[in-house]
Amino acid sequence: MTFDSNAFLIIFTGALIAISCGFLGVFLLLRKMSMTGDAISHAVLPGIVIGFFVSGSQRSLEVILGAGLLGILSTLMIDALRKKAKVQLDASIGITFTLLFAIGIILINLFAYKVDLDQECVLYGEIAYLPIDLWITSSGLNLGPRITWLAGVNFFLILGFTYFLFKELSITSFDEQFSSAIGIPSKGINLALMSMVSYTTVSSFESVGAILVVALLVVPPSTAYLWTKSLIPLLRLTATLGILIAILGYYLAYWIDSSIAGMMVAVAGAFFFGSALIKGNWPLGLRGTSKSSPAFDS
Amino acid sequence: MITQVPNPILEVHDLTVSYDQQPVLWNVDLSLPAGQLIGILGPNGAGKSTLIKSIMGLIPPTSGYIKIFNKALQEVRTRISYVPQRESVDWNFPASVLDVVVMGTYGKLGLFRRPGKKEVQIAQEALEQVGMTAFVTRQISELSGGQQQRVFIARALAQQADLYLMDEPFAGVDMATETAIFQLLQDMARTGKTVLVVHHDIHSAMNFFEWVIMLNLHLVASGPKDQVMTEELLRKTYGGKLNLLTQVTDLIRKQDFNPLKS
The per-residue pLDDT for B217 is: 86
Measured CA to CA in angstroms, residue A191 lies from A67, B217, B221, B254 at distances of 14, 35, 42, 58
Domain membership of residue A114 as a residue range: 5-124+140-290
Q: How far, CA to CA in Å, does A271 sit from each of A74, A223, A284?
A: 31, 7, 22
The CATH number given to whatever domain includes residue A120 is 1.10.3470.10
In a domain, residue A38? The reply is yes
Q: Residue B140 carries which DSSP code?
A: G
pLDDT in tens, chain A (298 residues): 566 888 888 899 989 999 999 999 999 999 988 888 888 888 888 888 888 888 777 667 788 788 888 888 898 898 889 888 888 888 999 999 899 989 988 888 887 666 666 556 666 667 777 777 777 777 777 777 888 888 899 999 999 999 999 999 999 999 988 888 888 888 889 889 988 888 888 888 777 777 778 889 999 999 999 998 889 999 999 999 999 999 999 999 889 988 888 888 899 999 999 999 988 777 765 555 555 454 454 4
Q: Does residue B139 sit at the A interface (CB-CB below 8 Å)?
A: yes
Identity at A19, one-letter amino acid code:
I
Q: In what order do the strands lie in the sheet with B163-166?
A: B80-83, B163-166, B194-198, B37-41, B211-216, B218-224
This prediction's pTM: 0.84
pLDDT at A290: 52
How many residue contacts between A and B have a Cβ separation below 8 Å?
A: 83
Question: Measuring CA to CA, which residue among B37, B33, B28 is closest to residue B55?
Answer: B28
- Nearest-Cα distance to chain B for A292, in Å, is 14
Residue A240 CA to residue A234 CA, distance in Å, equals 10
How far apart CA B236 and CA B41 sit, in angstroms, is: 12
Question: In Å, how far is A168's CA from the nearest CA of chain B?
Answer: 8
Pick the CATH number of B1-69+193-262 from 3.40.50.300, 3.50.50.60, 3.40.50.620, 3.40.1190.10: 3.40.50.300
**Cα(A153)–Cα(A206) distance, integer angstroms:** 15
Number of domains chain A contains: 1
Size of chain A in residues: 298
Q: Which of these, A5, A4, A41, A18, lies nearest to A220 by C-alpha position?
A: A18
**A124 secondary structure, DSSP code:** S
Q: Is A89 domain-assigned?
A: yes
pLDDT at B235: 80
Q: Give residue A292's pLDDT.
A: 47
At residue A34, φ and ψ (nearest 5 deg) are -55, -40
pLDDT of A29 reads 93
A131: enclosing H helix or E strand: none
Contacts of A173 in chain B (CB under 8 A): 93
Indicate the domain borders of chain B.
1-69+193-262
Beta strands in chain A (DSSP E): 134-136, 142-145
For chain B, 262 residues long, give each residue's pLDDT as a single digit of tens. Answer: 788 888 888 898 889 998 877 888 888 899 999 889 999 988 888 888 899 999 988 888 888 889 998 888 888 888 899 999 888 899 989 999 999 999 999 888 877 788 889 999 999 999 998 888 899 999 998 888 888 988 999 999 999 889 999 998 888 778 888 888 888 899 889 988 999 999 888 878 888 888 999 998 888 888 888 888 877 788 888 876 555 555 666 666 665 555 555 4
Chain A interface includes B112 (CB < 8 A): yes
Cβ proximity of B43 and B216 under 8 Å = yes
Q: Measure the CA–CA gap between B124 and B92, rounded to whole angstroms.
A: 22
Residue B102's φ and ψ, nearest 5 degrees, are -60, -30
User: What's the rounded Cα separation, in Å, for the pair B159 and B161?
Assistant: 5
Q: Which residues pair with B19 in a beta bridge?
A: B22
- ipTM of this complex prediction, to 2 decimal places: 0.82
Question: Which chain A residues are Cβ-neighbours of B78 within 8 angstroms?
Answer: 182-183
Residues of B in contact with A230 (CB under 8 A): 94-96, 139
